[in-house]
Each structure stands twice: as structure tokens, then as C-alpha cells.
Amino acid sequence: MSFITRLPLLGRRCAFPFPPVPLTLSFKRDASRLSAIHDGLRRSDRTRPQGPKEIRQRPGEDEYLSPEERRRQRALARQNPINFKIRKGKKDITQEPGPSRKSKAARFADPRDPYGRHSLVKKFKTGELFKEFEGQGQVKKDGHLQHDDFVRQMIAASQFLYGTSTVEAALGASRRKLYKLYIYKGKDRRSKSLDKDNFIAELARKRGIPVEHVDETALPMLNKMSGSRPHNGHILEASPLSQMPIKALGEFSEGEGVEGPGFRVVPGHQSFEEAEVNGTSEFVATEPSPRKPLVLVVDEVLDPGNLGAIIRTASFLGVTAVAVSKRNSAPVTPVVLKASAGAAETLPLFSIESVADFLTDSRENGWMVYAAVPPQGSSPRRQVDTMDVEKMDPLLKDPCIILVGNEGEGLARALRRASDIEISIPNLSGSRVVDSLNVSVATGLLCSAFLKSKAKEFGTDNILKVQDAGAIF
């Protein structure tokens, strides 16, 4: 389309020195280059010997059809018209019809049905699945049958005591509930061990405890019970050991009352379940002696092996009781009981929430507190060593408390201030290479300094008369 316009004059008098020139404006749409490219592609595609190929504009679009193919499909659609009605909201019935729906009884009897008679869901509800797992074990790579190492506990809070000394001591004492005894009876069991097995089994039967003898197939289960630690073929399931929480030690009584010599404790808070395990007795009986009791307080000892060794040493030397702080201390676990070699079954154990308050209240009730400290360094308090304690024999005058601290840092300053006297072990070698002792060894030397006079009173033969004194575990 084109038209011609002429500019009008700008007035009677022309401002231009030359006559006006007519301007011609034309509007024209040129062919698109892209459309020309497409035309060329379509012509080249029609001339291919193997026929036109599919042309898709985008991967997600439908298949490209030429005009002739579209006409052919429309003709086929007119020959086979749809003569049924598709209801609104129903499924598309133009799809291929599937198999008919089975009845409920047929689905229940179908072994492939996930909710049928033979399904895992049905076996789990009826308990048949657990019976199958118990009846058939797992097979190892070498083809041998692997025993199920699943551990069934009598109660959720029960513990597995392991080791010959620990199990024998628990069976001999009556401080906890005992549920079941496991004894290893494998082919590699020695004749010496068989005699010990019969002795321990007889102890269990006298107390009415069921005994189960297991073979090599149950060895993984025994290792799991003991945490892969040496169990010597003896494992006993029992309730936790009583460890009553206390706030302070009461005054010591010489035995004028009906209860005899001993002292009372100030009990701390415990739940009903804890009271069932720890008991509620507030009186600790002692043997008649001119010397007063000695109580060991352990604060922040982290290694369970050290704690077990301390309990074993305290029991061997004649300490009256052991109290362990709850905060930052190793709990009394089967590992501790194993390291104590059964000594924890015969020694009264207590737990303390606040050691500083415990020491303060106990001092008000007549107890002397000795804090274990390194020998070097000056202290404003009176400091003595083990030699001085042996000469003084403080148990003749007052009941005493020995306070030992952490393996690395020792006692906190607040606890040292809460004590009456600081006690140390002299370094007789003078060497600076080894300037300290293990906490269990140091505790043994301290307790020995307090109780050496008592040992002389009862005689050395009675003190050293113990069963299997050389056994470590």
C-alpha cells in the first residue's frame, strides 16, 4: 500500500527560496528470513529418498504430522466413531480393560498379596514372623549356621554381670535380684573350668535361679552381653547394684542402742523405682572395735577401671563404705564390677549429689575430712603425709573421711577448703620423672596408712586370708 502526500504552503509568502518538492511514503512488508529457511527445509525434506523425517519443535511437543498424515488419521477416526458415553468424574474407559477385581477371600489366599494370609504383615500380627526368625539362623559365608545374638532381658533395667569372681560374689551376696545364669559349655572348655562351672551352677540352683548352658553357637550372644570383654564363660543377669543417694553422714554410735555400733546417713531424694533397688535403710553397721569407721569419698574419677580398682582395694583393706559423686564420675557399671572382682557386692556404696555440702554437713556431725593432695607446694592448712597418719592413728579419736579426686587434676579448691586436713604421699625416690601415682594405687596407700593399726589389732593372718588373692579378674 502506498500513497502520496504533498506538504501545504506555510503561508501566503513562502519561506523557501525554491518550489516545494512532493514526498512519496510507501509501506511494504518484506518476507521473513526465518520463513524462507523453513520453506527450504520443508522442500528438502519432501525430496528425501527415504521419505520425510519427523520434525519436532520441542522435546515435549507431540509428534509432527504432515498434512497428508493428518488427513489419513481424520479419515480413520470417521470410520470408527466412538459410540459410548464417557461419564463425568469417572475413569477414562477408553483404556484397555484390566483383569476383574478379586474377591476378599481370593486376595487373602493369594500368596503374592501384601496383606494376604502369607504376607509379612499377617505373620507379624500373629507372631509367626518371630518364630520363623528364632527357628532359622543366619548363614555365614562359609555355609555354617550363625546363632542369633539377640539378647532378651528379663527387665529393661537389668544388667549382665560377667566374670567368674563377679558372678560368684553376686550369687553369694543378697544385695540384688538375680534372674538368669548363662554358662558356656563349649568343646574347648577346660576340665578345671568345668569344676568351677558346676560349683557356680550349684550356687544358682540353691537360690532358685534358672541356669542355661550354651555351646559355641551362642558365643556371639555371650560376647554381646559382656560388651566383647572377657567373661570367662559366666554371665549373670541381675538388677542394678544398690547405691543409695545420701546428703551427709550422721553421728557415729558406739553401740549403746539396739542396732549396735554404726552410723546413720542422711538420705537424698530417690524415686519409687530407685528405692526398690537401693533400699531405704539409713543405718550402716560396723564391727565392734576401739577404732572408728573410715569412709572413702571418690570425686570425678572417670576411668571405670580405676573406680573398680579403688572399690576392690577399699574392700580388701577394710574401709567401711565408699561414696561416689554423681557429677563427672564413672557410673557403677558391669565394667566397674568386673574390675572390682566382686568386691562391690560386699561393700556399702553410696552416691553424692554435692560433695562440698556433703563434707560440710558430715563435719558438723563429728567426721574428720582428709583431702588427698600432691606433696609439693605450700598450703595454709595443716598438711600431713601417710607416715604422720600412721603415727597419729586418727581413727582412735574420730570417724574419718578420705577424699580423693580426679586422675589428672586432683581435687578442686572448693573441696580442699571444705576439708580439715590435707594428706599427701611422700616421694621417697626424689625423681622428677615419676612424680605421681595412679589414683587407685594412691588410694590404697592412703587407706593403708589409716588402717594399718587396725590390721595389727586383728592380726596379719586374718587380713591376708582371702580366696584367690592373686587373681586379677
- Domains of the chain, earliest start first: 159-238 (3.30.1330.30), 244-427+436-463 (3.40.1280.10)
Strands 262-267, 283-285: pairing is antiparallel
Question: Average pLDDT of the chain?
Answer: 79
Q: Please determine, for residue 88, whether its predicted confidence score (pLDDT) is greater than 80.
A: no
For residue 349, is pLDDT > 90? Answer: yes
Q: Are 451 and 288 in contact (CB under 8 A)?
A: no
- Tell me what pLDDT residue 250 has: 93
What predicted TM-score, i.e. pTM, was given to this entire model? 0.64
Query: Is pLDDT above 80 for 390?
Result: yes
Whether residue 148 has pLDDT greater than 60: no
DSSP 8-state code for residue 398:
S
Beta-ladder partners of 139: 145
What gap in Å lies between CA 225 and CA 167, rounded to an integer?
A: 14
Identify the three-state secondary structure at position 285: strand
Using alpha carbons, select from 209, 351, 207, 372 the residue that is nearest to residue 267.
351
Least confident of 79-93, 328-342, 414-428: 79-93
Q: Which pLDDT band, with edges at 50, 70 and 90, does 4 fall under?
A: very low
What's the pLDDT band for 471 if we cut at 50, 70, 90? very low
